[in-house]
Copies of this chain bind each other. A is one copy, B any other.
Amino acid sequence: MASLFRGSRYIWLRWNKHVDVAFVSTRSMASKTPVGFIGLGNMGSPMAKNLLKNGYPVIATDVFPQSCKELQDTGAQVVDSPADVAEKADRIITMLPSSPNVIEVYTGPNGILKKVKKGTLLIDSSTIDPAVSREMAVAAEKKGAVFMDAPVSGGVGAASMAKLTFMVGGVVEEYNAAKELLTCMGANVIYCGQVGTGQAAKICNNMLLAIGMIGTAETMNLGIRLGLDPKLLAKILNMSSGRCWSSDTYNPVPGVMEGVPSANNYQGGFGTTLMAKDLGLAQNTATNTKTPIPLGSLAHQIYRVMCSRGYANKDFSSVFQFLREEEGQ
């Protein structure tokens, strides 16, 4: 029932302290039994390949046949639907674009939960609303399965090189089982707490990242206008209390650093539209928990306006360019 799942989001928020019941795993712990993988996009595809490289049989599906074909050529078995994956694997990883996709893949007519086996471990690496992660966990629990959220930081390059960072939420008894698989795809695996806290950690980090980046862009621009050399200003900030990742590792001003998107006309990196999406998640969770986030909200709005003004596909450090006066003025 729609109302049950929907309503359960709110009930869950209130009662979540009482549902951390221990799950007793009944699945095989033999490490090389098949692993399901659903969502073979830019991130999911190299992640699934890393499972194959580590000797795990992979049973995969995706809505795009071409993506399935490519993974099949690497040795995976392709099936028709999430339900079919659930029939054949008792460990499944999902990597999907947004909350509605996750809901569809888990609870839809051909979703995982239609045919999931008791004791199956479900790991969702999508970046979505933590409330949806909690809903999925409740729905999975009703089928005797275990759902964990494990969103990643790091981009396509990190996915290819198995250098992702996973932030994991879910029952602690299943963490080691999840970690066994996640270490094949990432360099860091961090346990964050109950289900949804992996998402929470990711959203929190990206909100502070966005604030720091826009703040760095404003500050560098102001300093340049006041006559400071940008490299010198960056150096001063980085030895002082203004220091942050955006000033010392990913400076948004062309010419200050090499090997970052600002050195390459803001190509590559983390797109403005993706940052706007993550800030939308931060805003939703803040609104729903009645948490004030004045700078986070404004950062969201700035990236939203940038998407409307032609910056959607540039790296999110292009906010420096957005704030600079146009030439000729």
- Quick check: is A24 within 8 A (CB to CB) of the other chain? no
- Quick check: is A153 within 8 A (CB to CB) of the other chain? yes
Q: Which residues of B contact A216 (CB under 8 A)?
A: 208
Q: Which residue of B lies closest to A191 (CB)?
A: B232
Q: Which residue of B lies closest to A215 (CB)?
A: B211
Q: Which residues of B contact A9 (CB under 8 A)?
A: 100
Q: Which residues of B contact A309 (CB under 8 A)?
A: 309, 322, 326
Docked-complex contact B227 and A16, CB < 8 angstroms: yes
- Quick check: is A66 within 8 A (CB to CB) of the other chain? no
Docked-complex contact B296 and A218, CB < 8 angstroms: yes
Q: Which residue of B lies closest to A165 (CB)?
A: B240
Interface size classification for chain A: 35 or more
Those of A288-329 within 8 Å (CB) of chain B: 288-302, 304-305, 307-310, 312, 322-326, 329
Q: Which residue of B lies closest to A5 (CB)?
A: B2
Q: Which residue of B lies closest to A288 (CB)?
A: B280
Those of A160-203 within 8 Å (CB) of chain B: 165, 167, 188, 190, 192-194, 196-197, 200-201, 203
User: Which residue of A201, A283, A305 has the most chain B CB atoms within 10 A of its CB atom?
Assistant: A201
Of the residues B209, B226, B247, B291, contact of A197 by C-beta under 8 Å: B226
Q: Determine the main DSSP class of A at the interface with B.
A: helix
Q: Which residues of B contact A107 (CB under 8 A)?
A: 1-3, 6
Docked-complex contact B310 and A108, CB < 8 angstroms: no
Given A308-B329, A324-B308, check contact A208 B237 (CB 8 Å).
yes
**CA A223 – CA B204 in complex, angstroms?**
6
Given A298-B295, A323-B308, check contact A226 B196 (CB 8 Å).
yes
Q: Mark interface residues in A205-240 (1 if CB within 8 Å of B CB, else 0).
A: 111110110111011111101111100110011011
Docked-complex contact A323 and B296, CB < 8 angstroms: no
- Quick check: is A81 within 8 A (CB to CB) of the other chain? no
15 A-B contact pairs sorted by A residue (CB < 8 Å): A1-B108, A2-B139, A6-B103, A10-B100, A205-B240, A206-B241, A207-B222, A209-B242, A212-B215, A212-B244, A222-B286, A225-B291, A283-B287, A305-B323, A312-B329
Task: Identify the 7 closest CB pairs spanning chains A and B, nearest first.
Answer: A244-B244, A211-B215, A2-B5, A208-B242, A200-B226, A3-B107, A205-B242
Q: A2-B2, A10-B100 are in contact. List 14 more A-B contacts (CB 8 A).
A: A2-B4, A2-B6, A2-B139, A197-B228, A207-B215, A215-B296, A218-B291, A222-B286, A222-B293, A222-B296, A280-B288, A280-B290, A293-B301, A305-B322
